[in-house]
Structure 1
Amino acid sequence: MALLPKPWPVGLVEQVEPLVRRVLAPNGSAWTYTGTQTFLVGDGRGLAVIDPGPDDAAHLDALLRAIGPAPVVAILCTHTHRDHSPAAAPLAAATGAPVIGCAPLRTSGGDAVTDAPFDLDYTPDRVLADGEALAGPGWTLTAIATPGHASNHLCFALEGTGILFTGDHVMGWATSVVAPPDGDMADYLASLERLHDREDRIYYPAHGPAVTRPRQLVRGMIGHRRQREAQILRLLAEDTAELPALVEQMYRGLAPALIGAAQQSVWAHLVDLERRGLVGRSGPSWIIAP
């Protein structure tokens, strides 16, 4: 796991590129690392705010201080998990800017457990389609559809700079959690392949440090997921197993706080393998398909 300097610069404005600044939200956790990083793209002539983060008063104040008198052209969200998009509405109210980016998401028709990670109040003024561009003074951002971690996930390419804002799709500190039913392992791997085919210079994820060798990291992530898939098939060939037992064998010594995330990703692999006819279910247990 990559380490960042402590104390973490919560609420401070950091200039990371000529046109890019970031502000860290105070929501660090085992799931978010040091917290959600909100990126400000542009200069005093007009800004885009990417992933405004949680609806936290201190974070909103920090963003408004960083924005200052500059007009906000758009507030963009990569996806609608609760650590990314809830601040969009109060920031829009404070600045008058439209909320643009990913589509809204309705996951389960009201199941509280399934819906818990999602910002169901997110209401964009405009949804960006794959490949659609948004321009401001001196910058153009292009939406890259990258479903998998979330079905509505977008990355944003800052044209002419080699910069890609990757949200939660690719992070340097950990692999993304893929949690069904909204998360989809097949989509996630296809989206990784899509990014690997690009030639971006650097990734700025919503959590953790910048990724300075993006294609190498993405290639490793694809390989890691294929290894996990092969591991599942090998274990099930030896014996049937329920999900918790599989995770215990696959992730020996894992910190208790991360077991839930590991279970979700293994579940996503199992669902993908089942769709492909490679595994099946026998009651609560998973088996190699006959």
Structure 2
Amino acid sequence: MALPPEPWPTGIAEQCEPLVRRVLAPNPSPYTYTGTQTYIVGSAGDVAVIDPGPNEPDHIDAIMAAIGDAKVAAIMCTHTHRDHSPAAAPLAERTGAPIVGCAPLVIDSDLPRSDEAFDTTYAPDRVLEDGEAMTGEGWTLRAVHTPGHTSNHLCFALEESGALFTGDHVMGWSTSVVIPPDGDMGDYMASLERLQAREDRVYYSAHGAPIEKPRQLVRGMMGHRRQRENQILRLLGEQARTIPDFIPVMYKGLDERLHKAAQMSVMAHLLDLEKRGLVAQGENEVWQTN
């Protein structure tokens, strides 16, 4: 999807609803759209900061300006990609707030990944289990475990307004990239099904516009992934293929900078299909149907 015309509201605290403001980080890219959106939840007394974003001094200053005189009760991270959590530690130093949310993640693998590397500096004071909540003056944020994009991904439900902060699990501009070895397509689909069963009013994702019809979007995303899966099976039915062979057929006109991410997404589908006994990997990384 093409970027919207500038200027973007980078560094400006925008009011989304009475309990929610957002501050856009200065990190636009093919993976982050116009940048990472940090959310500040709470209107008086104390607030929570969701996905503080990259460790960019200007962005941290903008978050501090938006917080103003309020106490920060928690700095909450949906997952530990480097466009989401690195600002947590410096923000904690400036506010004294605990870092709360997803678990830390360390991957011991030489498999290639996209440029969205993991944040190895992330050190939470408290890991939220599924269903656990952080509370403040007039707000409650409850963790919803949504693995798939990453194994440690959480969404946060704002119970007072029916909003769900979806991180990268469901985004307002593109489908989420699922990258093995940590990303898992089977888990991702199960997490989408979990959100489809909920009745959230609106999604606030870390990238892109608010999602006003969340269940409709999730239904479409699930259909899109099933379509990709069927496309892979059809192509393998024609002939055995390596992963790069799929890209020109499945992703026509894709920005070359995103080819590696597309390959990782195809790999995630293939690994899920392999678990289900539908495909197999042969010699020289050639895939075929069973």
TM-score category by the smaller chain?
A: over 0.9
Which amino acid in 1 is paired with 2:66?
A: A
- What is the correspondence of 1:115-264 to structure 2 with a 5 Å cutoff? 117-264=117-264
DSSP-derived class of the 1:249 partner:
helix
- What is the correspondence of 1:52-91 to structure 2 with a 5 Å cutoff? 52-91=52-91
Deviation, 1:44, is: 3.0
Which amino acid in 1 is paired with 2:176?
A: S
Tell me if structure 2 keeps the 8 A contact 1:2–1:172.
no
Aligned equivalents of 2:264 and 2:201: distance in 1? Answer: 31
- What is the correspondence of 1:40-59 to structure 2 with a 5 Å cutoff? 40-59=40-59
Which amino acid in 2 is paired with 1:164?
A: L
Which amino acid in 1 is paired with 2:27?
A: N
Tell me if structure 1 keeps the 8 A contact 2:155–2:165.
yes
Tell me if structure 2 keeps the 8 A contact 1:133–1:141.
yes
Instruction: Quickly say closer, same or farther: Cα 1:113–1:274, change in 2 above 3 A.
Output: closer
Aligned equivalents of 1:261 and 1:174: distance in 2? Answer: 13
Tell me if structure 1 keeps the 8 A contact 2:31–2:116.
no
1:285 corresponding residue in structure 2: 286
RMSD: 1.5
- What is the correspondence of 1:14-53 to structure 2 with a 5 Å cutoff? 14-53=14-53
Aligned equivalents of 1:107 and 1:120: distance in 2? Answer: 10
Q: C-alpha offsets along residues 126-158 of structure 1, whole Å, 9 cap, x if unaligned? A: 000001111100000000000000000000000
Deviation, 1:23, is: 0.3
Deviation, 1:121, is: 1.2
Aligned equivalents of 1:218 and 1:197: distance in 2? Answer: 10
Aligned equivalents of 2:83 and 2:187: distance in 1? Answer: 22
Aligned equivalents of 2:22 and 2:69: distance in 1? Answer: 17
Aligned equivalents of 2:233 and 2:3: distance in 1? Answer: 34
Question: Structure 1: where are the runs of 5+ without partners?
Answer: none
1:13 corresponding residue in structure 2: 13
Q: C-alpha offsets along residues 217-265 of structure 1, whole Å, 9 cap, x if unaligned? A: 0000000000100000010011000000012211122121221221111
Once the two structures are overlaid, the 10-residue window that deviates more, 251-260 or 119-128, is 251-260
TM-score, scaled to structure 2:
0.96
Deviation, 1:278, is: 0.5
DSSP-derived class of the 1:63 partner:
helix
Aligned equivalents of 2:213 and 2:116: distance in 1? Answer: 34
Aligned equivalents of 1:176 and 1:41: distance in 2? Answer: 24
DSSP-derived class of the 2:228 partner:
helix
- What is the correspondence of 1:109-120 to structure 2 with a 5 Å cutoff? 111=110, 117-120=117-120
DSSP-derived class of the 2:40 partner:
strand
Which amino acid in 1 is paired with 2:64?
A: L
DSSP-derived class of the 2:273 partner:
helix
Aligned equivalents of 2:206 and 2:131: distance in 1? Answer: 21
* Structure 1 residue ranges (4+ consecutive) displaced by more than 6 angstroms after TM superposition: none
Q: C-alpha offsets along residues 73-125 of structure 1, whole Å, 9 cap, x if unaligned? A: 0000000000000000000000000000000001116x596597100110000
Which amino acid in 2 is paired with 1:286?
A: W
Deviation, 1:2, is: 7.6
Question: Structure 2: where are the runs of 5+ without partners?
Answer: none
Aligned equivalents of 2:216 and 2:231: distance in 1? Answer: 22
Aligned equivalents of 1:135 and 1:231: distance in 2? Answer: 45
Aligned equivalents of 1:112 and 1:122: distance in 2? Answer: 22
DSSP-derived class of the 1:43 partner:
coil
Tell me if structure 2 keeps the 8 A contact 1:146–1:191.
yes
Deviation, 1:4, is: 4.3
DSSP-derived class of the 2:281 partner:
strand
Aligned equivalents of 1:160 and 1:23: distance in 2? Answer: 21
How many residue pairs match? The answer is 288
